[in-house]
Amino acid sequence: MKLKVDMLEAKHWIYPLNQPKRDYQFNIVKRCLFENTLVALPTGLGKTFIAGVVMLNFYRWFPEGKVVFVAPTKPLVAQQIDACHRTCGIPGRDAAELTGNNPRAYRSRMWEEKRVFYMTPQTLMNDLATENCDARDVILVVIDEAHKGTGDYAYAQLIRFLMAKNPHFRVLALTATPGSTPEAIQAIVNSLHISRIEIRDEGSLDLREYMHKKEVKQHIIKMTEDIVHFQQLLKTVMESVLKPLVARGVIEPLDVVKMHPYRATAIIQRIAAQRNGAHKWAVGALSKLGAMARAMSYLMEASVTMCLGSLRDLITDKDKPGDGKKKAPSKSQLKEDPTFQKLLTDLEARRHRPGGFGMHPKMETLKTLLVQHFGVRMAEDNEGGDAGSGGDTRAMVFVTYRECVDEIVEVLNQESPLLKATRFVGQGVDKQGKKGFAQREQLEVIKKFKAGEFNVLVSTSIGEEGLDIGEVD
């Protein structure tokens, strides 16, 4: 082992008391110091504080050692710097944030001068592979969003590389969602060389006094007559495509209204992996069925406008004119299907009526719930002498499809200033070619949401990725 321990400092470990002591955090920290540990805690219960305490102690014990905190995205990296230093008092002069945007020479200098690093796993892996830093100097690796650390993801590559060069380092892996099966958790354990698991959930006895009361209420939304009519037409078309597939054993019988689009994709992948290719004839029909399942999902869960757009895309020939390619037979068959033609005709006719498709019943219920929530809070504030639009309360709306985010924001902002909604999406480009949020924009939106400039955040799954959104009701 290259690094030398400070024997005087190693006689004890420090637990900061600048905030109220929680027994579960104290007990978890004590174990993380001496074993490679996977810590799974529900969101908001102090995983970052645990990481900060462990980092502080290794920082003290090994004066020449490098402590590294890795997170999958740059916003997460930036967020952890402030949280760790604020809660645990690691000197800022000894810390650095390194990203792929920093020149190699700058990163090399930081590795020479600093001792605590916040970075993405890809940047760390690059510096290790190019010998920009010495793997033997790393004494602690803290891994945020550890559920990603399986297979050939950068986390797994990183730990494999470090184990080959320097087996003398500690691993602390953090996650709020370790996996729903023992096999999923075991995959993380294997990839990250975990020897101890500390898992708590909402039912854990030592968490109960710190858990906020959560009320889960299900709302059964009745669809309008128009949506039921469109659903029945689309169901008829889907069943006509499904029937021969079921008859020849490609797919089992199912309710097409509840069919997940990925089901067709999974069967196509299975067929592609088969050597004999007995069911290759079914790929076109499966592709068409999957596209219609997505349109059905749009219709029932999101927006009739999105459903119409999806069905148009299904029959639109996107090949360039004159490129010599033939139109897909499945598209031609759909165009000639009388039920499909009636579906499109009825959708277009409804769209051109006064008021268009109108508000989707789910969106109407969402708007009502939020107006009621903020209206009650505003009334309470006024009684207490505080004028405002709902006081300090906040709300988050999660949606499955990014295409729906802007539509929801527009509908909610009709109730401004009571509702002040904004979108929060990932970096990728959506199907319409609209750009997502750069990481700087994501952080700016979170900052404004915490400050109260917005009180409703309409988010895709990016909002689940460990970012500190702040308190919501």
What is the spatial distance between Cα 70 and Cα 76, in angstroms, rounded to a whole number? 9
Q: Where in the chain is the domain with CATH 1.20.1320?
A: 225-317+328-352
Instruction: Output the pLDDT for position 322.
Output: 47
| Coil, strand or helix at 424 | strand
Instruction: Output the pLDDT for position 465.
Output: 59
What is the spatial distance between Cα 283 and Cα 251, in angstroms, rounded to a whole number? 12
Residues 30, 36, 40, 41: what is their CA dihedral angle, to the nearest 10 degrees?
20
Alpha carbons within 13 angstroms on the beta-carbon side of residue 93 total 0
Q: Which H or E run includes 138?
A: strand 138-143
User: How much of the chain is helix, strand and coil, in % rounded to 5?
Assistant: 55, 10, 40
The arrangement of strands across the sheet holding 37-40 comes to 95-98, 116-119, 66-70, 138-143, 170-175, 37-40, 196-199
Query: Which fold, 225-317+328-352?
Result: phosphoenolpyruvate carboxylase, domain 3 (1.20.1320)
- Secondary-structure class of domain 361-463 per CATH: alpha beta
Please say whether the dihedral angle defined by the alpha carbons of residues 365, 370, 371 and 372, taken in this order, is positive or negative: positive
Which residues neighbour 368 within 8 Å (Cβ) at sequence distance 6 or greater?
Answer: none
Query: ω before 178 within 30° of 0 (cis)?
Result: no
Asked whether the beta carbons of 202 and 211 are under 8 A apart, the reply is yes
Instruction: Output the pLDDT for position 319.
Output: 44
Q: What is the pTM of this model?
A: 0.69
Q: Give, for all 473 residues of the chain, the pLDDT tens digit.
A: 788 988 998 899 999 888 889 999 999 999 999 999 999 998 878 888 899 999 999 999 999 999 999 988 776 776 677 767 777 778 888 888 888 888 999 999 999 999 999 988 899 999 999 999 999 999 999 998 888 888 888 899 999 999 999 889 999 999 988 888 888 899 999 999 999 999 988 888 888 888 777 788 899 999 999 999 999 999 999 999 999 999 988 899 999 999 998 999 999 988 888 877 778 888 888 999 999 999 999 999 888 988 998 898 888 855 444 444 444 555 667 778 899 999 999 999 988 888 788 889 999 999 999 999 888 888 776 665 555 555 578 899 988 888 888 889 999 999 888 899 998 887 766 666 677 787 778 878 888 888 888 999 998 876 555 566 666 66
Residues in the chain, how many? 473
Amino acid at 185: I
Q: What is the CATH number of domain 9-199?
A: 3.40.50.300
Instruction: Output the pLDDT for position 243.
Output: 93
Which residues neighbour 353 within 8 Å (Cβ) at sequence distance 6 or greater?
Answer: none
Instruction: Output the pLDDT for position 468.
Output: 63
* Number of CB atoms found within 10 A of residue 362's CB: 17
What is the spatial distance between Cα 55 and Cα 32, in angstroms, rounded to a whole number? 10
Q: Where in the chain is the domain with CATH 3.40.50.300?
A: 9-199, 361-463
